Amino acid sequence: MQLQDILFSQGFGTRRVCAGLVQQGWVKVVGADGEAHQVFDSTASFEPVGLHFEVQGVPWHYAEKAYLLLNKPAGTECSQKPSAWPSIYTLLPAPLRQRPSKSAVQGVQAIGRLDQDTTGLLLLSDDGQFIHRMSSPKKQVPKVYEVTTKHPLDDSQVARLLDGVVLDDDPKPVRAAAAEPVAEDHLRLTLLEGKYHQVKRMVAAVGNRVEGLHRSQIGAFHLPEDLAPGQWRWLSEADLSALSTA
C-alpha cells in the first residue's frame, strides 16, 4: 500500500495533502530496526498492518478501524455540532475526526450519547458493526451508571426501578437490570437500553432526582482509574473482549 494512501486512510488529509507531507519530509516510518526513518517518496509501498510511523513528530500506528475510549468530562456535548457546550470531538486528534468513511459522516462517532453534565465511559469508533453491537437494545449490552440522588434512597424506590417504571413517551415499563444501593444517596444502576435521559427520568419517576451521573462500565469493561477526565486512548484486544462480555 502506498504511503500516501496509508496516511489518507488514517485521516491525515486528502491524498494530495498526504503526498505533500511525505515529500516535505514530515513523515518517518519505523523500520525493522525499531528506528524511525524519514521517507520522501509518497508512493513508496509498505505493509500497513502493524505499521508504526510519525507525522510531524507525532507517533501513530496503522489501524484499519478505530476503537477508542474517552473519559467524558462534564460540560461537553456528544455532538459534532454542539449547541451550547464544547464538543467531545475537540478532545481528539484531528486524524481521528477526519478518517475517511463510506458514509456522509467522517471520523469516529460516539456510541450513544451522554448528557452534557454526565461523565465517564464513552466509546467511539468508525466501525458500523461494532457501533450497532454496542448500542442496539436487542444486543442487551449492560451499561452501569453511578447515580448520585438529591434525596436519600429507600427500599421502595429501588424496588420500583427493578420492577419497572412508565416513562411519559412509552407505555411499556422500563426496568433496571440491577440496582445496587452504595450509600443513602448513591445508586449503582445497570441498564440494557439507552432511551433519552433514561436514568434521570427513571429516578424522577420513583420520586427522587439525579444530582450526578457517571457511567463506569460497559459489558465487563470498567473505566480505567488512571484515565483522567478528558483523556482518551485506543482500546486493546482485551478491552474489546471485555466489552463483548455481558
Active site residues: 115
Write out the three cell numbers for 70.
474517552
Location of C-alpha cell 452534557: 116
Q: How far apart are CA 194 and CA 112, in angstroms?
A: 8
Q: How far apart are CA 12 and CA 15, in angstroms?
A: 9
Write out the three cell numbers for 72.
467524558
Location of C-alpha cell 421502595: 156
Q: How far apart are CA 9 and CA 92, in angstroms?
A: 17
Tell me the Cα Rg of the chain: 22
Residue 105, number of CB atoms within 10 A of its CB: 9
